[in-house]
Amino acid sequence: MHRGKGMKFVGDSRVLAPSVRKKMISKDYSEYPGKTEAFWPNFLLKEWMIGAVFLVGFLCLTVAHPAPLERIADPTDTGYIPLPDWYFLFLYQLLKYSYASGPYTVVGAMIMPGLAFGGLLLAPFLDRGTERRAMKRPLATAFMLLAIASIVFLTWQSVSTHDWAQAERQGKIVAKVDIDKASAGYKVASANTCITCHGDNLSGGPGAPALIGTGLSADEVAKIAKEGKGGKMPPGIFKGTDEELKTLSEFIAGLGK
């Protein structure tokens, strides 16, 4: 505007007309009765209610079935076989194969999982299709199904091949007993290689149960020592005299009492 010269208007094509701007504004939720609702408080309240139901159900499940506890971790126990949580079982199973274990542990522990998860992270950038139907995106659908099938298969294999009986034995909480390693009973156990399988503190080893708090009588212990038990303890392991057998059986029967 210039003084004394009147007023001039200049149009700008970048400014949208009111009719165009109105079309770009999304409609209010009240224009869709029965199909949408306000986020606060209607939608958010329903989300909270559903979350509360699942939370209460989860708490009831934890009370009815508490998580099993194992004995205190012992870094000196090289016979203990750890088992990861269920969501890592497929990686645990992968490390059992020859091409991903031993000298190739790096391949199974880092390279293969890194490529798989890296592919998932890059999926939105590699597949930029606008279609939402799975059949119209064959590559993305195929890779995702392959990933799911691999995880399910490896998890199932890990569960089905794991020695759960041994895991229960090695993780069993046993009473802590101060064993007198200078006693005659311990010397007999050491001379007859009992500690080789059952551990230096007789608290169990790979495939062998703990000898503490067995609840067996001296006669029952003597019978097992002479005749064996199951396929993992064959008969004839004990090579001592009858007097040594009595000393050993009384020693083991008295542990944990």
Among 224, 208, 222, 214, CA closest to 257: 214
- What is 86-162's CATH number, 1.20.58, 3.30.1330, 1.10.287, 2.60.40? 1.10.287
Strand partners of residue 2: 6
> 192 or 151: which carries more pLDDT confidence?
151
Question: 239 falls in which pLDDT band (50, 70, 90)?
Answer: confident
> 60 or 222: which carries more pLDDT confidence?
60
List CB contacts of 182: < 8 A, sequence separation 6 or more: none
* CA dihedral (106, 111, 117, 121) positive or negative: positive
Question: CATH for 184-253?
Answer: 1.10.760.10
Q: So what's the pLDDT on residue 210?
A: 76
3 state SS of 185: helix
* CA dihedral (176, 178, 181, 184) positive or negative: negative
* Mean of per-residue pLDDT scores for the chain: 78
Q: Half-sphere exposure of residue 248, counting CA atoms within 13 Å on the CB side? A: 26
Residue 113 CA to residue 98 CA, distance in Å, equals 16
Whether the pLDDT of residue 206 is over 70: the answer is no
The predicted model gives 226-242 an average pLDDT of 76
Provide the angle, in degrees to the nearest 10, between the axes of the packed helices 218-227 and 242-253. Answer: 120
Percent of the chain at pLDDT above 70? 77
Question: 34 falls in which pLDDT band (50, 70, 90)?
Answer: low
Residue 225 CA to residue 237 CA, distance in Å, equals 7
Among 212, 168, 153, CA closest to 186: 212
Could you tell me the residue ranges of all domains in the chain? 86-162, 184-253
Q: So what's the pLDDT on residue 244?
A: 83
Residue 152 CA to residue 162 CA, distance in Å, equals 16
Per-residue pLDDT tens for 42-86? 888 989 999 999 999 999 998 998 877 777 776 766 667 778 888
